[in-house]
Amino acid sequence: MYLWIKAFHIMAVVTWFAGLFYLPRLFVYHAMSEDQTSRDRFKIMERKLYRGIMTPSMVIAVGLGIWMLMLAPQWLQQGWLHAKLTLVILLIVYHFICGAQLKRFASDNNSRSHVFYRWFNEAPVLVLVGAVLLVVLKPF
């Protein structure tokens, strides 16, 4: 059973990260858009991505992760897992920051440039690298 849960956890994480990579990219283009038709289109795309894909994927990934920990609580004794869970918490915070940005765009209150969003888009990459290295190498 554990391996089935793990497989679906990985699928949810991949889907979540796809959204975490794509939504800030949409913010880049939204911040650069100059006509109302484009802005309206981006609002729809961002909302559907966040609510329809990213948030359900996050909930499933976290839920399955908790389920795996309940089946194998000995992992909580490992330092690498504490570091990984810290990265997961940071990723959840990033997810909700994306949601706040989405609301700013939806109400036409974005004050940040496309350059900001290009840098903002790099944060989940760092978390992904750290999480994968921790899970695979289990360095401590």
Give the annotated binding-site residues for heme: 9, 84
Distance CA 4, CA 36 (A): 46
Selection from 94, 130, 115 nearest residue 16 by Cα: 94
Is residue 95 within 8 Å of residue 127, measured between CB atoms? no
Element (H, E) at 45: helix 36-48
Annotated binding-site members: 9, 84
